[in-house]
């Protein structure tokens, strides 16, 4: 039976470490502040923003909530980001995605000052990751590295295959595995014979966005499988991109959905907020 990688427990460890650091900073008179902007009232976004606020409360980070109406103009949003960029008492700025269609997401994310971009989406932070300089790293892939390390899984020298090349998961994931000295292959929808490539993986990270697509025939015996996908199945239960029942018996370790990668994203966001204070110095 595969070892279950417990993202819930590891995310609590990270949040508790953040909480200690924040308490220490408070004792030295430093407060950490995160500004969270939501435009419109997409129900999923409201849940995500609520969870981020709760995590801030738990850790002791001050959170400022900006709930803007759906018809907010791009100009107004950029103006607010400009104000928050200039405020010395704001360490992190997060714009909840997706934004309404009339707003250019890329323009908005690029407007956040790189030193306050706690989501790690700004081109300057992505570039910094690429050449090994300090900066914020996208939370989900950063969380996966923590899951592997804290579960005692060695990355150096391993064949690592990432399925998916999105800017927020696949690409930064590949760069992080490379930074940890993995031998990295990135696959995508144009990859020929995906199974042949994935069956070489010692560590397989799956971020395709297709429920239960990865079955046992994609996985090498004894591999570590990390499932980034989140979907609701026909019974309204959460499932991932990996067909857990079929794959689990063949792995040495695997993340469940829920309780694997999911909880790590907010924990790493909190970690980025804490680190923002040092980066801004």
Q: Which residues bind ligand NDP (CB under 6 A)?
A: 140, 163-166, 168-170, 187-191, 194, 207-210, 228-230, 241, 261-262, 265
Nearest residue (CB) to ligand NDP, 61 versus 197: 197
The CB-of-198 to ligand NDP minimum distance in angstroms stands at 9
Nearest residue (CB) to ligand NDP, 59 versus 169: 169
Residue of 6, 15, 21, 119 with catalytic role: 119
Strand partners, 214: 242
The residue with its CB nearest to ligand NDP is 166
What are the DSSP calls for 186-206, one per residue?
A: EE-TT-SSHHHHHTT-SEEEE
Q: How far apart are CA 58 and CA 77, in angstroms?
A: 28
The CB-of-76 to ligand NDP minimum distance in angstroms stands at 27
The CB-of-25 to ligand NDP minimum distance in angstroms stands at 27
What are the DSSP calls for 51-62, one per residue?
A: HHHHHHHHHT-E
Residue of 6, 15, 21, 52 with catalytic role: 52
Q: Is 119 a catalytic residue?
A: yes
Q: How far apart are CA 75 and CA 254, in angstroms?
A: 45
**Cβ burial 70-80 (10 Å sphere, 16+ → b, else e):** eebebeebbeb
The CB-of-37 to ligand NDP minimum distance in angstroms stands at 19
Nearest residue (CB) to ligand NDP, 100 versus 259: 259
Q: How far apart are CA 137 and CA 129, in angstroms?
A: 7
Q: Is 202 a catalytic residue?
A: no
Nearest residue (CB) to ligand NDP, 179 versus 210: 210
3 state DSSP class of 244: helix
Residue 252: φ, ψ to 5° = -90, -30
**Burial zone of 182 (CB within 10 Å; 0-12 exposed, 13-18 middle, 19+ buried):** buried
Q: How far apart are CA 281 and CA 173, in angstroms?
A: 27
Nearest residue (CB) to ligand NDP, 199 versus 210: 210
Q: How far apart are CA 114 and CA 96, in angstroms?
A: 16
The CB-of-27 to ligand NDP minimum distance in angstroms stands at 32
Residue of 15, 38, 96, 117 with catalytic role: 96
Q: Which residues are catalytic?
A: 52, 96, 119
């Amino acid at each position: 039976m595969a070892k279950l990688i417990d993202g819930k427990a590891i995310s609590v460890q990270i949040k508790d470490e953040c909480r200690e650091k924040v308490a220490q900073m408070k004792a030295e008179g430093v407060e950490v502040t995160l500004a969270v902007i939501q435009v419109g009232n997409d129900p999923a976004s409201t849940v995500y923003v609520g969870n981020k606020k709760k995590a801030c409360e738990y850790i002791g980070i001050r959170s400022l909530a900006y709930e803007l109406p759906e018809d907010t103009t791009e100009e107004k949003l950029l103006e607010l980001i400009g104000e928050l960029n200039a405020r010395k008492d704001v360490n992190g700025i997060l714009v909840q995605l997706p934004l309404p269609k009339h707003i250019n997401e890329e323009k908005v994310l690029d407007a956040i000052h790189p030193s306050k971009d706690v989501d790690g989406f700004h081109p300057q932070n992505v570039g910094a990751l690429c050449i090994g300089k300090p900066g914020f790293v996208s939370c989900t892939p950063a969380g996966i590295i923590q899951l592997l390390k804290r579960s005692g899984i060695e990355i150096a020298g391993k064949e690592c295959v990432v399925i998916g090349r999105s800017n927020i998961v696949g690409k930064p994931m590949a760069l992080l595995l490379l930074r940890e000295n993995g031998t990295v292959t990135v696959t995508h929808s144009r990859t020929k014979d995906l199974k042949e490539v994935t069956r070489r993986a010692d560590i397989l990270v799956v971020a395709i966005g297709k429920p239960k697509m990865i079955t046992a025939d994609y996985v090498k015996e004894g591999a570590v499988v990390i499932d980034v996908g989140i979907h609701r199945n026909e019974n309204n239960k959460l499932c991932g991109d990996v067909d857990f029942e079929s794959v689990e018996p063949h792995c040495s370790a695997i993340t469940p959905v829920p309780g694997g990668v999911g909880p790590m994203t907010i924990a790493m966001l909190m970690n980025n907020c804490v680190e923002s204070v040092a980066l801004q110095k």
